[in-house]
A and B are shown apart, each in its own frame.
Chain A
Amino acid sequence: GDSVTQMEGPVTLSEEAFLTINCTYTATGYPSLFWYVQYPGEGLQLLLKATKADDKGSNKGFEATYRKETTSFHLEKGSVQVSDSAVYFCALSAPSNTGKLIFGQGTTLQVKP
C-alpha cells in the first residue's frame, strides 16, 4: 500500500544553518505531496504542497521539489531560525484516496540560537 518514510529525528541545528529533511514515498499512480508543520501544543498546518512531478512547493523560505524518478519530496531551507523549531510531517494523497492523507512518522527540528 501507499506509504511515506521520513528521516529519523530529532534534528538539531544552529540558527542560520541549512536544513534538509528527507522524505520518500511509495504510491500507485500520481499522488500529491505535502509538508505539514506542527508547532508545540498546536494542530498541524500546511507548509507547502506539490501536485505533479517536477513541481516545487515553497512557503516561508521552505521548499521541496516533487521528484518522481527518485520518489522523493525532500524539505529544504537555506537559513533556519529558532522559530522554525517544530515537528515536520511529509504526507501524500493518492487520487483514489478520497482526499485522505498518509503521513510519515514526523521529524522533530530543534534550532538553537
Chain B
Amino acid sequence: NAGVTQTPKFQVLKTGQSMTLQCAQDMNHNSMYWYRQDPGMGLRLIYYSASEGTTDKGEVPNGYNVSRLNKREFSLRLESAAPSQTSVYFCASSGLNRGGTGELFFGEGSRLTVL
C-alpha cells in the first residue's frame, strides 16, 4: 500500500540551484496537488492538476513549475532556488473530479533547505 510517494525526503540546495521534487500515486486518482508547509501558516497550495493533461496555479505559484507527466506522476520544479523556498513540501492526490469534494491523500513530505 504505497499510496503517495515523494522523493527526495530531504534536500539541501544553494541559492540559484535547480531541482525537481517527484511525486507518484498508485490509487488511480485524477487530481494531484503540491502544497508547502511553513510554521504558523498551515499548508498553502502551490499548483494542482485536476486531471491528466491539466495544471493550474494555486495560492503561491511564483518560483515553481509543475509537470503532470501521466496520471500517476506530478513533479514540482524549482528553477532557481531562493532561501524563501525553504519549506516542507507535500504532494497529495484525490480521486474526485472537478467540482467534487473528498479526502486528500498525502505523501510523507520533502524537507527542502535553501542556503
Contacts and interface: CB of A to CB of B under 8 A. Distances in A.
A113 interface: no
Contacts of A45: 106
Interface in A8-65: 31-32, 34, 41-46, 49, 51
B104 A101 contact: yes
B101 A103 contact: no
Given A44-B106, A99-B50, A99-B94, A51 B42 contact: no
Interface string B81-115: 00000000010101011111111101111000000
Sort chain A's interface into a size bin.
20 to 34
A6 B107 CA distance: 23
Contacts of A51: 101
A95 B108 contact: no
Interface string A79-113: 00000000001000101101111111110000000
Contacts, number: 66
B101 A32 contact: yes
B43 interface: yes
B42 A105 contact: yes
A42 B108 contact: yes
B44 to A, nearest CB: 8
Nearest to A4: B42
A46 B104 contact: yes
A107 B97 CA distance: 30
B99 A100 contact: no
26 contacts: A31-B101, A32-B102, A34-B103, A43-B107, A43-B108, A44-B92, A45-B106, A89-B42, A89-B43, A93-B101, A95-B99, A99-B50, A99-B94, A99-B98, A99-B100, A99-B104, A100-B31, A100-B33, A100-B58, A101-B43, A101-B45, A101-B104, A102-B45, A104-B42, A105-B42, A106-B42
